[in-house]
Amino acid sequence: MHTDTEDGRRLVERLRAVVGRRYMLTSPSSTQRYRTGIRFGGGPVLAVVRPGSLVDQWRVLNACIEANVIVIVQAANTGLTGGSTPDGDDYDREIVIVSTLRLAKVHLIDQGRQAICLPGATLFQLEKMLRPLGREPHCLIGSSCIGASVFGGVCNNSGGSLIHRGPVFTQLTLYAEVDADNRVRLVNHLGLTLAGDPEDILASVERGGFALEQITRPEGRFASDQGYEAHVRDVDAPTPARFNADPHRLFESAGSAGKVMIFAVRLDTFARDERTAVFYIGSNDTHELENVRRQMLGTFKSLPVSGEYIHRGAYRIAETYGKDTFLAIRHLGTDRLPAMFALKGQFDALAARVPFLPHDLSDRVMQAVASLFPPHLPARMTAYRDRFEHHLIVKMAGDGIEEARAWLGTAFPSGTGDFFECTPEEGEKAMLHRFAVAGGANRYRAVHRQEVAGMMALDIALRRNDREWYETLPAEIDQAFVHKIYYGHFFCHVLHQEYIVRKGHDPVELEHAMWKLLDARGAEYPAEHDVGHLYNAKPALAAHYKALDPCNCFNPGVGRTSKLKHWH
């Protein structure tokens, strides 16, 4: 089915009647930024549809299923593994992308202790709404993505940097499933008593203003991960603390990777820490940092708020190539970033239409502008960059501040490491610099695209008892990389490892070789960024997909599974 066939034209006209001409995109140029992943993946689509209400989204879904087309539901498209875009052109049906960014609405309930989020809601938006109430969402700025959606975290079992909150998880959702006979059914497990047919229910959820008697807490269902603090403290356990395909965290929409169409999720929120302090640790001994981790998780009364690792190589990449991200967040604030990056995407789409313009023109311009600004990192951090290979940023709250200050004062300085307690400004800049690493890796690849073969991105979950956490590669693999960029959530033993590949080497072959090394170490991967179209879904995850989507009409091929109808 194509737009130039009778069936294709009929479906396009039906969808256009639902959402309006402005929000129905069919030309390759207008759909490019929706059907192309920010790092990986892409392929042709019949159309991109941008519904403006939950009822419209429901009608779009029904029209697509009746027309026997594939549906890929997409929010911010910030995923690193291509999981919210097509993957090539070898599908057995046409594809329609349903972009939900217009449905960015959040309802706070129970005095802000919980939030009901609609499909386009972002972490930035939720954080802003909760701030006046002294509360926070599960994740804050995130580790790798600007403008990430709330739904993306739920669908991918994302983790985040906040140690005591665990992976994003909820058992309270409102979603549509399609059975093996192609019948669409709305499932209300949101914990809201709502009357009427599916369109009545969806309209009620979008309006909000729920009466107290409508809100229930279903027995045995939770809106956040339970018991993660004790789990992560078990530093002698021979298994990872958290990873994408953990069977204990696969439940309906949680870990679904878009194999159902979600309309609303209900999540717990958390009290904001009012008194915090940041400690900056440098070391040239990986075992010394591991000892810090084991002491703080295993013996401290107060669990750290976060503990973020940066290798010296990642520090330098972010210092140069993540500078504009750092400056934009610091001086413009997070509220303006989604609009700024949407504008960047539109500029890139327009520039792609002009053959003589260089690829990634916006990245080149932004990099040039950032280079004009003076050094932006604190002098003490810069000195540690030169002295130490490994950096750890530990944030403590409440009584944990004095506990960390006292213990670190006895452990450092050592023969291989040292620490300092950050001023508030230093602490803010240290955390922001850590966040800029992922953007810096993207920028380096963009600016040097003609000079490198590509980029690999692994996020791995190491065993909690693994003392040899720092990677040592065989020489034949190591020499294939221009840069190795290591950073991550150190206390959870979740590391993001990104590699800039030299010309003459195949990134796919290298990644498969790396998988064998990770398997030998007992690591799980991916840890929190979803399998997408890069990784093989392990048996439990593949079974979860098939149970949710027996007709294989939602996002087929994810986890390198079958792209064919009914999984044939």
Taking the C-alpha atoms of residue 479 and residue 500, their distance in angstroms, rounded to an integer, is 11
Average pLDDT estimate for 94-117: 97
What's the confidence (pLDDT) of residue 138? 87
pLDDT tens figures, 66-80: 999 999 999 988 777
Position with higher pLDDT, 237 vs 141: 237
pLDDT at 529: 80
Task: State the average pLDDT over residues 385-390.
Answer: 98
Which pLDDT does position 143 carry in this prediction?
A: 43
* Three-class DSSP category at 495: strand
3-state secondary structure of 391: strand
Q: What is the pLDDT of residue 337?
A: 67
DSSP 303: P
Lowest mean pLDDT among 26-30, 143-147, 187-191, 551-555: 143-147
- Dist. CA 175–CA 63, nearest whole Å: 17
- CA 74 – CA 432 distance, rounded (Å): 27
Average pLDDT over residues 34-52: 92
Give per-residue pLDDT as tens, 391-439: 999 999 999 999 999 999 999 999 999 999 999 999 999 999 998 998 8
User: What is the sign of the dihedral through the CA atoms of 169, 524, 484 and 76?
Assistant: negative
Three-state DSSP class for residue 184: strand
**pLDDT attached to residue 146:** 60
pLDDT-based confidence at residue 3 (cuts at 50, 70, 90): low
For the stretch 249-288, pLDDT in tens is 999 999 999 999 999 999 999 999 999 999 999 999 999 9
E strands, 424-533, where? 452-461, 481-489, 494-502
Q: Is the separation of the CB atoms in 171 and 222 below 8 Å?
A: yes
Q: Is the pLDDT of residue 248 over 70?
A: yes
**Residue 486 pLDDT:** 97
Cα separation, 310 vs 393, in Å, equals 8
Q: Tell me whether strands 306-311 and 481-489 are parallel, antiparallel or unpaired.
A: antiparallel
Can you tell me which residue has the tokens 């311009």?
Answer: 365
Q: What does the pLDDT read at residue 4?
A: 66
CB 488 within 8 A of CB 482: no
Q: Tell me the mean pLDDT in the region 504-527.
A: 94
Q: How confident is the model at residue 40 (pLDDT cuts 50, 70, 90)?
A: confident
CA-to-CA distance for 122 and 270, rounded, in angstroms? 17
Give the pLDDT mean for 17-38. Answer: 94
User: Is residue 394 a contact partner of residue 427, using CB atoms and an 8 Å limit?
Assistant: no
Tens-digit pLDDT profile for residues 131-149: 999 999 988 754 445 668 8
Least confident segment among 12-21, 36-45, 366-375, 422-431: 36-45
- For residue 483, what are the β-bridge partners? 500
- In the Cβ-directed half-sphere of 37, how many Cα atoms lie within 13 Å? 19
Whether the Cβ atoms of residue 431 and residue 309 lie closer than 8 Å to each other:
no
Residue type, 412: F
Residue with tokens 């997070």: 334
The average confidence (pLDDT) of the chain is: 92
Taking the CB of residue 476, how many other CB atoms lie within 10 A of it?
Answer: 8
Q: What is the pTM of this model?
A: 0.90
The reply to whether omega before 413 is within 30° of 0 (cis) is: yes
For the cut 60, the answer to whether the pLDDT of residue 1 exceeds it is no
When comparing pLDDT for 218 and 60, which is higher?
Answer: 60
For range 348-352, the mean pLDDT: 74
Q: What is the pLDDT of residue 76?
A: 84
C-alpha pair distances (Å), 209 with each of 108, 128, 435: 9, 19, 36
Q: What is the chain's Cα-based Rg?
A: 23
* Phi, psi (degrees; rounded to nearest 5) at 149: -85, 155
pLDDT at 196: 96
Name the residue type at position 389: E
Q: Which residue has the tokens 């959702």?
A: 173
